[in-house]
Amino acid sequence: MATGRSHRPATRSRGIPEATVARLPLYLRALTALSERSVPTVSSEELAAAAGVNSAKLRKDFSYLGSYGTRGVGYDVEYLVYQISRELGLTQDWPVVIVGIGNLGAALANYGGFASRGFRVAALLDADAGLAGRLVAGLPVRHIDELESIVADNQVSIGVIATPAGAAQEVTDRLVGAGVTSILNFAPTVLTVPDGVDVRKVDLSIELQILAFHEQRKAGEGENGRQEPDGDVPAVMPA
């Protein structure tokens, strides 16, 4: 996690807060929409509303990138689109492989948001030999045995794991061994990776559980309805 100390105090002292990085894609999306409507400039207030954050936060975020706005006016839409894209590394091409072509893998392969932002699906891989050759999103599914050569040949540095939980660690090891240094994990498992490899995880059921927690709260709010006898313990007790 701790992204080894940086260097190069180029334009501004490097070191954009992680929380800011996580919001840049949000701003980029909102700006892209404005750009498509040929809106020339936008204020922090307007853009913040479109991105679903508050304007002070947005201005603070942009201040880490540099002084890209004009006081009394706002931000130049095209210019910001470019600067944020560059900061995120989207001005270059990122070949990715998707491993595990079930429903989820297929959904990811078909997802338009990837291609439009510099992510190119270099290959779809699956352990099921029966799937090999089948076209998904216009690409042929290839057998997992080709993983190493595909990663090497295409200089893939980002892998997406959409396999069942049981296969995820092994796939990870192979990806890392082949040279992948960033992994987006959809399998509900904790992955172990060497230093220098980034993992982000998306867990569908965790999100629902968090919602359930808050939902439960709401139910208990007004009506005092939730039954919780307070002495409510199961048969098993701690030693």
Partner DNA sequence: TCTTGTGAAGGGGTTCACAGCC
Partner DNA sequence: GGCTGTGAACCCCTTCACAAGA
* Window 133-152: residues binding a copy of itself (CB under 8 A): none
60 contact choice in a copy of itself, DNA, none (CB below 5 to 8 Å, kind-dependent)? DNA
Can residue 70 be called a binding residue for a copy of itself (CB under 8 A)? Answer: yes
Can residue 228 be called a binding residue for a copy of itself (CB under 8 A)? Answer: yes
Q: Tokens 């560059």: give the residue.
A: 86
Of positions 17, 113, 177, 179, contacts a copy of itself by CB under 8 A? 113
**Are the C-beta atoms of 69 and 44 separated by less than 8 Å?**
yes
CA gap 125, 100 in Å, rounded = 6
51 contact choice in DNA, a copy of itself, none (CB below 5 to 8 Å, kind-dependent)? a copy of itself
Closer CB to DNA, 21 or 165, in the complex: 21
Instruction: Catalogue the E-assigned strands of the chain.
Output: 41-42, 69-70, 74-76, 94-99, 119-126, 135-136, 139-143, 158-161, 182-185, 198-201
Q: Are strands 69-70 and 74-76 parallel, antiparallel or unpaired?
A: antiparallel
Of positions 6, 70, 192, 216, contacts DNA by CB under 7 A? 70
Can residue 190 be called a binding residue for a copy of itself (CB under 8 A)? Answer: yes
Closer CB to a copy of itself, 96 or 144, in the complex: 96
Helices (H), the chain: 18-36, 44-51, 55-65, 77-88, 103-110, 112-115, 147-154, 165-178, 204-221
120 contact choice in a copy of itself, DNA, none (CB below 5 to 8 Å, kind-dependent)? none
Can residue 39 be called a binding residue for a copy of itself (CB under 8 A)? Answer: no
Of positions 51, 69, 90, 131, contacts DNA by CB under 7 A? 69
Binding mask 129-168 for DNA (x = CB under 7 A): ----------------------------------------
Of positions 117, 132, 134, 154, contacts a copy of itself by CB under 8 A? 117
Q: Are strands 158-161 and 198-201 parallel, antiparallel or unpaired?
A: unpaired
What would the two tokens of residue 223 be?
């009506």
CA gap 58, 92 in Å, rounded = 25
How many other C-beta atoms lie within 10 A of the C-beta of residue 84? 21
**Min CB(50)–DNA separation in Å:** 12
Q: Which of 32, 17, 30, 36 is nearest to 44 (CA)?
A: 30
Instruction: Give residues in contact with DNA (CB under 7 A).
Output: 17-20, 42-45, 54-57, 59-60, 62-63, 67-75, 239
